[in-house]
Amino acid sequence: MKRPFMTEEHEQLRKSVQKFLQKEAVPYIDEWEKAQQVPRSFWKKAAAQGLIAPSVEEKYGGIGADFGYAVVINEEFEKVASGIGGIGLHNDIVIPYIQSFGSAEQKERWLTKAVTGDMISAIAMTEPGTGSDLAAVRTTAIRKGDHYIINGEKTFITNGSSADFVIVVCKTDPTASPAHKGISLLVVEEGMPGFTRGKKLNKVGQHANDTSELIFEDVAVPAENLLGEEGKGFYYLMEKLQQERLMCSIQSVASVQKMLDITLAYVKERQAFGKRIGDFQNTQFKMAEMQTKAIIGQTFVDRLIIEHIQGKNVVDEVSMAKWWTSDLAQDVAIQCMQFHGGYGYMEEYEIARRYRDVAVSSIYAGTNEIMKVIIAKNMGL
Instruction: Look at phi and psi of residue 319 and say left if phi exceeds 0, alpha if psi is from -120 to 50, else beta.
Output: alpha
What gap in Å lies between CA 310 and CA 26, rounded to an integer?
35
Torsion angle of C-alpha atoms 132, 135, 140, 143, degrees rounded to 10: 140
Number of CB atoms found within 10 A of residue 272's CB: 12
Q: Please tell me the distance from the alpha carbon of residue 15 to that of residue 19, in angstroms, as a whole number.
A: 6
Find the distance separating the first CA and the last CA of the chain, reported in whole Å.
37
Question: For residues 326 and 322, what is the distance between their CA atoms, to the nearest angstrom?
Answer: 6
Marked catalytic residue, from 33, 75, 230, 244:
244
For residue 317, indicate whether it is catalytic.
no
The DSSP string of 103-153 is: -HHHIIIIIHHHTTTSS-EEEE--BTTBSS-GGG---EEEEETTEEEEEEE
Residue 122 CB partners (closer than 8 Å, separation 6+): 89, 90, 94, 157, 158, 159, 160, 163, 165, 166, 167
Q: Which residues contact 128 (CB under 8 A, 6 or more apart)?
A: 153, 155
Residues that are catalytic: 244
